[in-house]
Copies of this chain bind each other. A is one copy, B any other.
Amino acid sequence: MPRAGLTTERVIAEAERMIDDGGLRQLTLAALAGRLGVRQPSLYKHIDGLGALEHHVAIRAKAELGDVLGRAAIGRSRGDAIAAMARAYRDWARKHPGRYQAAQRAPLPGDVEDEVASHRVVSVVAAVIEPLGLHGDDAIDAIRTFRSALHGFVSLEAEGGFELPVDLERSFERLVETLTTVLRRWSPFA
């Protein structure tokens, strides 16, 4: 009986591929094992159950998204950086819908690894917004607005929540323009 040569890495990678074309919901250990040419219980030698697998996928997705956002902002400033980051955010989410979805679960309190990965995304956004002169609560409000608008657009788009598939590019560019304008003019709150 020749060995399949699985590793934790390969199992997770296949799970990622699986959810990116089929949705998070249809990730099952049975189907995953099938894809890897192995029986379902064999997976437990590499991952600690379905929950742990989803957790790994989530952390990796958060880390990669943070990375992508960071790279998008390099060499740009202010409005340009914000727009580039927004487009990178949407692009990544569209290329990896399952992983994006997996990344939405908040870390459990005390789960340091997850907290770090989650925080990275926020801190990259914060780093781009800070040069606009925003600090403290004003910066927090601005970051939340930015994230809300992007996450909202991306997830409505992914769910097919926009009724007409036409003109999504235009609508998104419009949203990006609005965001950059709004954030550049962000002012202290009463």
Residues of A within 8 A of B (CB): 104-106, 118-119, 122, 137, 140-141, 144-145, 147-153, 155-156, 159-164, 167, 170-171, 174-175, 178, 182, 189
Contact = CB atoms under 8 A, between A and B. Distances in A.
Contacts of A182: 178, 182
Nearest to A164: B140
Copies in the complex: 2
Nearest to A138: B174
A33 B95 CA distance: 40
Contacts of A118: 163
Contact of A144 (B105, B119, B153, B155): B153
Nearest to A103: B161
B137 A104 contact: no
B140 A167 contact: yes
**A-B pairs, 8 with minimum CB distance:** A152-B152, A148-B152, A106-B160, A148-B153, A151-B152, A141-B174, A144-B171, A141-B171
